[in-house]
Structure 1
Amino acid sequence: MNSLTQRSQGLSDRSLAWLFVTPTILLLLAFNIFPLFWTIYLSFTNYRANRPNADTDWVGIANYQRVLADEAIWENMRATAHFLCWSIALQLILGFLLALLLNKKFRSHSFWSTAILLPMMLAPAVVGTFWKYFFEPQYGIFNYIIGFFGGDAQFTMLGDTNLSPWAIILVDTWMWTPYVMLLLLAGLRSIPGYLYEAAEIDRASEWTKFWQVTLPMMLPFIVLAVLFRTIENFKMFDLVDQLTNGGPGAITELASIKLKREAFEKWRTGYASALAIILFVAIYGLSLVTVRYLDKVKQR
């Protein structure tokens, strides 16, 4: 009946498919592709968003040269790299341990599985605000705990240039370790049981089974977790903006915070667009390398 109706209307299956897909493609072009090309165009101009009626001059690659020659940008990139490496490393370790724990059945398994997932269900801006008050030196719970154990009750973690980067690493790890755990837990449950049975027949120890069976089979899932968290952490903004706003000084000013300040505080739109394109290329390059490595892992 449906085929007769389509034929009577003069629509083939392919035409009908395009009829449904076309609105999605148009939305994708409108909200993703067009802004990307518009940003690329602006990166070659001296356009300022707070002066939309002013003359816009074509400056070529001058914005890119200024970005790459700016020492402050490289400091922001170093802060971003520090945040990326430590947060992802901690999330992998803790996520793996939690996945190994939840892969075994025990009493209250469902309750603890749900409780562990709660942090990742919160909005990053809410998490940043909550932890900011938690670290507040005057009435924060963190300082109360420090004072209870005999430490300095006026300790300011967010105001210390050495400790404030670790504060955002701690908060990001608290929030996103459950996400990594979910990915790794899916990997653990996809490992065929006969591999462990064969290892037991060979009288392999638990440590040997982990290194010879679990870890090799989990490698694709670990690579995926690193890829997803790298992409997300590279563009991390709202959590850090609420927690430290890049301070003290510029010690926690990640590349995303720098981009916001250039675009919406200094209104150097062309310069900020060049910085955005450089960050996009960096993320795309890292993702491409990771995906190629993932393909090699799957072919083994």
Structure 2
Amino acid sequence: MTDPIAAAARATPDPLARRIRGLSDRAIAWLFVAPTIFLLLAINIFPLIWTVRLSFTNYRANRPNEEVEWVGLRNYIRILTDDGIWANMQTTAHFLFWTLFFQVLIGFTLAWLINRKFKGNDLLTTLIVLPMMLSPAVVGNFWTFLYQPQIGLVNYVVELVTGTPASSFSMLGPGGLAKWSIILVDTWMWTPFVMLICLAGLRSIPDYIYEAAEIDRASKWRQFWTITIPMVLPFLMLAVLFRGIENFKMFDMVVLLTGGGPGNETLLASIDLKREAFEKWRTGYSSAYAIILFVTVFGLASIYVKALNKVKER
């Protein structure tokens, strides 16, 4: 049987073979890594530098032939002194807090239950994970149907609980519960993700630790607080980091469900940025807005990662 490596070596032209033999291991490594680095520079670094440059101008993408004026820090000052933007940031913080709270609470509970091996465990895990496999477009349309005033299942549940006629209000309309409706959808979709991370943390705890605790006559409650929670905490924090970053920049689900309305009730910072950039075409202003959001996320994530590393070192 012919050795494929030897055959490839024989098929390589002599000039090219001599050049390859003359390269060091480091040069060959850079040769393989270079395309990826170039791609990252083209897709991530260059647009970031270009956005920073645009943030100091009054450039509008829908008027490319107009003269671009250098405005310095004016865009940043206008954004940081705009009460409407601060209100949008508060709405974003509200959305972040409650989605993370419910996803961590429910996700960890589901992981703890599934970790206790029982009949039908695998089937239940598969069913729970299904929502996160769906695209946001499918989830948005599905829940929009459930929220319809006339035929929506959610409104009838509210009617049973509160006595309010199901057709008299819309969960996504003015006077409804638009914020909580979106939090419910995001929790339904992404709790399985948190559950899987917590489940990985629970299954990484060696059994002998619990056996030693039982020998010391530690109660189940004490084992939970002194063994389970501390050892799963890094996984929980990692899940919060991933979901926090994703939810901070999320707009697709909110737009699909409410169009960014009603009013400013569900106007997240990411949706406001999208409106400034692609509806009002204030490209320079929206570039400054994007840089401020990027610095905010990057700064908070850096502080959080340091805290996560300290927890891991314990």
For 1:161 and 1:256, how far apart are their aligned partners in 2?
23
Counterpart contact for 1:263–1:269, Cα < 8 Å: yes
Displacement of 1:198 in angstroms is: 1.0
Q: Match of 1:92?
A: 104
1:124 to 136, 147, 168: 136
The range that moved more, 13-22 or 85-94, is 13-22
For 2:305 and 2:74, how far apart are their aligned partners in 1?
32
Post-superposition CA distance 1:71-108 (Å, at most 9, x none): 11011000000000001000000000000011121111
Q: 1:161 to 1:82 in 2, by over 3 A?
A: farther
1:215 to 229, 235, 239: 229
Displacement of 1:165 in angstroms is: 0.5
Q: Match of 1:268?
A: 282
Q: Match of 1:102?
A: 114
Q: Match of 1:74?
A: 86
Displacement of 1:125 in angstroms is: 2.5
Displacement of 1:153 in angstroms is: 1.7
Aligned-pair Cα RMSD in Å? 1.7
Displacement of 1:7 in angstroms is: 6.1
Displacement of 1:8 in angstroms is: 6.3
2:161 is aligned with 1:134: no
2:59 to 41, 47, 57: 47
2:34 is aligned with 1:26: no
Counterpart contact for 1:245–1:253, Cα < 8 Å: no
Instruction: Give the TM-score normalised by structure 2.
Output: 0.91
Displacement of 1:226 in angstroms is: 1.1
Instruction: Give the TM-score normalised by structure 1.
Output: 0.95
Counterpart contact for 2:155–2:171, Cα < 8 Å: no
Post-superposition CA distance 1:104-136 (Å, at most 9, x none): 211111111111001101111221222112101
Counterpart contact for 2:55–2:288, Cα < 8 Å: yes
Larger radius of gyration: 2
For 2:244 and 2:79, how far apart are their aligned partners in 1?
22
Query: How many residue pairs end up in the alignment?
Result: 299
Q: Among all aligned residue pairs of Structure 1 and Structure 2, give the percentage whose two residues are the same amino acid.
A: 63
For 1:31 and 1:294, how far apart are their aligned partners in 2?
29
Counterpart contact for 1:188–1:214, Cα < 8 Å: yes
Q: Match of 2:73?
A: 61
Counterpart contact for 1:135–1:158, Cα < 8 Å: yes
1:285 to 279, 289, 299: 299
Q: Match of 1:192?
A: 206
For 2:92 and 2:113, how far apart are their aligned partners in 1?
31
Counterpart contact for 2:170–2:176, Cα < 8 Å: no
Q: 1:282 to 1:162 in 2, by over 3 A?
A: farther
For 1:102 and 1:184, how far apart are their aligned partners in 2?
11
- Aligned to 1:266, what secondary structure does the other structure show? coil
For 1:33 and 1:61, how far apart are their aligned partners in 2?
22
Counterpart contact for 1:259–1:276, Cα < 8 Å: yes
- 4+ residue stretches of structure 1 with deviation over 6 A? none
For 1:41 and 1:111, how far apart are their aligned partners in 2?
52
Counterpart contact for 1:161–1:251, Cα < 8 Å: no
| Structure 1 portions without partners, runs of 5+ | none
Letter in 2 for 1:166: W
Q: Match of 1:152?
A: 165
For 2:50 and 2:92, how far apart are their aligned partners in 1?
26
| Structure 2 portions without partners, runs of 5+ | 10-16
Displacement of 1:161 in angstroms is: 4.4
Post-superposition CA distance 1:186-218 (Å, at most 9, x none): 100111211111110111111100001001111
The range that moved more, 95-104 or 135-144, is 135-144
Q: 1:14 to 1:258 in 2, by over 3 A?
A: same
Q: Match of 1:237?
A: 251
2:195 is aligned with 1:164: no
Post-superposition CA distance 1:155-177 (Å, at most 9, x none): 31111446110011000000000
For 2:158 and 2:183, how far apart are their aligned partners in 1?
19
Q: Match of 2:50?
A: 38
Displacement of 1:67 in angstroms is: 0.4
